[in-house]
Amino acid sequence: MKIKSFWLAIVVAALPALPALAQQSTAPGLSTKVKNLFSAPKEDELIEPDLAFTLKVAAKSTNQLNVDVVPANGYYVYKERIRFSLKDGSGVRIGSVKFPPGEMKTDQIFGRTEVFRNAVPITIALDNAAKGKSVVLSASYQGCHEKLGVCYPPIDKTVSLVLP
């Protein structure tokens, strides 16, 4: 009887400490780190180039490609630094490239220049294109973080398309 009372007293004495032990079972700050993993970056933080500037390309028709260059929030892309070319086009050529109007900015590096702070819808007209023909579009663009003034090196991407 004394042994049972002894163990009962130890278990009862240990009960208040159990919640504290359970709380320490996860690493301190782990929930904050996990939350930050899935939250949007702060406006004064740099992000990876492929997140700062995304490229979307679609063949609208046999003779037209629609391209969107999308700077992330707090970033801008230079109009004069957006360039396109075709590789392995088998005679297909870029006829024209149409941009929407941008916003004028006085830049420390390029002086007075046109920039885009939002998605840039660009239309590329193709010459000598044929249905079912494969083309490889090469795109190059460059932009900066507005608040920090940090400019990324030019980003080069290639996209393979089959013309509808």
pLDDT average, residue stretch 108-116: 89
Pick the most confident of 40-54, 63-77, 102-116: 63-77
Percentage of residues in the chain having pLDDT higher than 90: 62
Candidates 149, 106, 117; CA nearest to 53 is 117
Q: Say whether pLDDT at 147 is over 50.
A: yes
Long-range pairs, 87-91, Cβ under 8 A, ≥24:
87/136, 87/137, 87/138, 87/158, 88/134, 88/135, 88/136, 89/135, 89/136, 90/133, 90/134, 90/135, 91/128
Candidates 40, 35, 99, 112; CA nearest to 73 is 40
Q: Say whether pLDDT at 66 is over 80.
A: yes
- The CATH architecture that domain 49-162 belongs to is Sandwich (2.60)
Token pair for 82: 């957006």
Q: For residue 28, what pLDDT is reported?
A: 52
Longest dimension (CA), the chain: 98
Token pair for 155: 């980003």
**Where is pLDDT greater, at 134 or 4?**
134
As annotated, the residues of the chain forming the CATH 2.60.40.1250 domain(s) are 49-162
